[in-house]
Chain A
Amino acid sequence: MSGPESSGPAIVVERMGKRFRLQRSGTRTIKSAMLDLMRNRGAGKNAFWALQDMNFVVNRGETLGIVGANGAGKSTLLSLLAGTKVPTTGSIRTTGTISSLLELGAGFHPDLTGRENVFLAGAIMGLSRRQMRERFDAIVDFAGMRDFIDQPVKHYSSGMYVRLGFSVAVEVDPDILLIDEVLAVGDENFQKKCLQKIDAFRRAGKTMLIISHDLSTIQSISDRILFLDQGRIEGIGDPREVIGRYRALARSRQTGGYEREWGTGEARIEGVTFEDESGRETDLFESGGTVRCRIRYRAERRIEEPVFGFGLSDANARLIFGSNMQIEGFRLPAIEGEGEVVLDLGGLPVAAGHYLFSFSLHSSDHRTNYHRLDHCFAITVTSDSRFEGVCRIPCAWSAPGPA
């Protein structure tokens, strides 16, 4: 698969958006449609954008993993690429045949036999009967179902369903394969076969898009990761980095219970961004690496000698370390209007995991808290070294020789 045409992109998505109409309850009837009309609720009010502002390119032969929380729009994106849904705005261009493993075996008819369903599935994917006959044995063998192939599929177990569905989808030999959360089904043995097949597809230069919640697997099999959040692309690129960001976000959502914002509001912390050694904005750090926090503030009136403080807590909001300008001996004469202060942490001596930053802005006598953001910023720390506990204390071993 390395013809001259194999250099161009397999999928180009441009300014694509998908809007759904919300149905308040159950199925629409003529009555409910009329009521809607009378209440003057057009599409506008009941609509929501499942995907917005999608711009990305998938190159031929590339494996793109898609991660995101439930409801982020992952499956909607795959159905749009598969062509079963139509974008509301923008465009999707695909080159080559597409086979989708969305809901494996969902197209099977329970009353038909496995054999009949295989041919039906092949025809739906655009293969002729002759082409299917050539592939039939391979399909049945891969699924390991020779004994059951002439039984109606309603007698199949759900595992058999999925196995046959997967076999058909991969044996039709598409240029682009869309895989939605199938790595989690079937027994271990079949999963291994699936992963081997996916790997074979990769080596054959096929383009694949894979949705999975199994982050470590998807990280290892993808060339790039697309991170979707609330219908928008939150990041696309290097698997390790993007998955790290996804984990951080997922974590910060999870520890949402610890988030607290309070204060008089005379001056506010407008936002905090984190940078690594190279000055790149990120929330994924190496254990031991430096962290630069840029704290943007806004003071409604002039405040003399304000004090900025911070705290670093673990994922359960237990404080690991906290300090402020006074403690560190830095005096800020006054703030008024907008501005920025910078906090540099010389090295994060913490174990791999998720951590929460708190920031505060208060008066020098600690009587007035202008603005406090407790546990509002999540970062993720990765580490190569394994040690016990939260924090690394420099240590060295030696064995003095016998006296």
Chain B
Amino acid sequence: MLGWVRDIANRRELVWILIERNLKIRYKSSFLGFFWSLLSPLFLIFIYSLFLGVLKFPIHLPTLVTGIIAWQFLAMCMGDSLYSIVGNANLVTKAAFPRMILPLSMVGANALNFLFSFVVLSVYLVFAGASFGGAGWLPLIMLTQAALCLGMAMIVGSANVFFRDTEHVMSVIMLAWFFLSPVIYEPEMIMEGFPRWVQVAFYLNPMSGILTAYRAALLTPPAVDGGLVAMSFGVAWAVFGAGLLVFRAAEPRFGDEL
């Protein structure tokens, strides 16, 4: 385990270059290039503000866009994770380097993108009069979400090497996961009247805790059950651990399968 961390630390140049490459390719031959990572959250906030006014959906705009922007980090990682190994088959079959670097740099690129969106979001939230009361928790929340993303990416990326229908399974799972997570609603809106164990089960979804934590840190939320959020975080890190184990088991066979 420690040897692994050291291997990757030794190759941090490669991690950076791959992050750079991922971002460059994303914005290659687009006129505005990197500005899109600032523009898309801006448009997102604008469009939701229009529709929320029309639809009278019972959620505050700051709560909604916070949820959506944080969710997008996961959604982008999941979409890219399918191809983090398969899409780099030429590198995997050509050179020896710690394969972990592939999902890691993919999540890294998306994390940078997310940070830009987050800056835009924060500017908006300042105008919307948010409290930023728990901003000190943000690094832990983001790190936990990144760990979740990386854990999932390692599982999904490995699975796609061996089973190419992972893609279809993924799209179904992501749709269900979206509605099971409090992205476009708040837990309190639906939890009323349910027994305690349903609430616990709801927070076994790591995204429940992560989204709730973002809102708690930035906005003035209803009272948050710290125990449940902590459990959610625990699940996120457990997914990370599981991802490491799966990846480690699958890694030696990548070269044969690709």
Contact = CB atoms under 8 A, between A and B. Distances in A.
B134 to A, nearest CB: 38
B162 interface: yes
A129 interface: yes
A126 interface: yes
A286 to B, nearest CB: 43
B24 A107 contact: no
Interface stretch (A21-29, A300-308, A323-331): A21-29
Contacts of B97: 124, 126
Contacts of A126: 11, 14, 97
Interface residues of B, number: 27
Interface stretch (A76-84, A186-194, A222-230): A76-84
A24 B25 CA distance: 35
Contacts of A31: 165
Given A109-B21, A111-B25, A84 B92 contact: yes
B163 A30 contact: yes
A57 B94 CA distance: 23
Interface in A305-363: none
Contact of B13 (A21, A33, A109, A128): A128
A127 B21 CA distance: 16
Interface stretch (A3-11, A97-105, A236-244): A97-105
Given A83-B96, A98-B96, A27 B164 contact: yes
Interface in B149-196: 162-165, 169
Interface string B81-102: 0000000001111111100000
Nearest to B93: A84
A126 B24 CA distance: 21
Interface in B1-51: 11, 13-14, 17-18, 21, 24-25, 28-29
B255 interface: yes
Given A28-B164, A85-B256, A129-B13, A120 B94 contact: no
A9 B18 CA distance: 34
Interface in A81-122: 82-86, 98, 100, 102-103, 106-109, 111-112, 116, 119-120
Given A124-B91, A124-B97, A86 B164 contact: no
A86 B91 contact: no
B158 to A, nearest CB: 13
Given A86-B255, A124-B14, A28 B163 contact: yes
A86 B95 contact: no
Contacts of B92: 84
Given A29-B165, A116-B24, A120-B17, A79 B91 contact: no
B91 A107 contact: yes
A18 to B, nearest CB: 9
A84 B17 contact: no
B95 A100 contact: yes
A125 B256 contact: no
Interface in B243-258: 252-253, 255-256
A4 B95 CA distance: 29
Interface in B52-87: none
B24 A112 contact: yes
A48 interface: no
Nearest to B25: A111
A88 to B, nearest CB: 10
B94 A106 contact: yes
Contacts of A83: 96
B162 A28 contact: yes
Interface range for A = 20 to 34
A125 B163 contact: no
A13 B235 CA distance: 44
A387 interface: no
Interface string A152-168: 00000000000000000
A49 interface: no
Nearest to B163: A30
A129 B16 CA distance: 10
A20 interface: yes
B28 A111 contact: yes
Contacts of B21: 109, 112, 116, 120
Contact of B93 (A21, A27, A79, A112): A79
A109 B25 CA distance: 9
B94 A85 contact: no
Nearest to A20: B256
A30 B25 CA distance: 31
Given A111-B25, A112-B25, A126-B11, A82 B162 contact: no
Contacts of A102: 93-94
Contacts of A107: 90-91, 94-95
Contacts of A112: 21, 24-25, 28
Interface string A163-180: 000000000000000000
Given A29-B164, A84-B95, A111-B28, A123 B17 contact: yes
A265 B95 CA distance: 54
A84 B95 CA distance: 6
Nearest to B252: A86
Contacts of B255: 79, 84-86
Contacts of B17: 119-120, 123, 129
A21 B14 CA distance: 31
Nearest to A23: B257
Nearest to B161: A28
Contacts of A109: 21, 25
A46 B165 CA distance: 22
5 contacts: A84-B92, A102-B94, A103-B94, A111-B24, A112-B28
**What are the 7 closest A-B residue pairs judged by CB atoms, nearest first?**
A83-B96, A85-B255, A86-B252, A123-B14, A123-B17, A84-B255, A106-B90
Given A123-B18, A124-B94, 20 more contacts: A28-B162, A28-B164, A29-B164, A30-B165, A31-B165, A33-B163, A84-B96, A86-B252, A86-B255, A103-B94, A106-B90, A106-B93, A107-B94, A112-B24, A112-B25, A112-B28, A123-B11, A124-B95, A126-B11, A126-B14
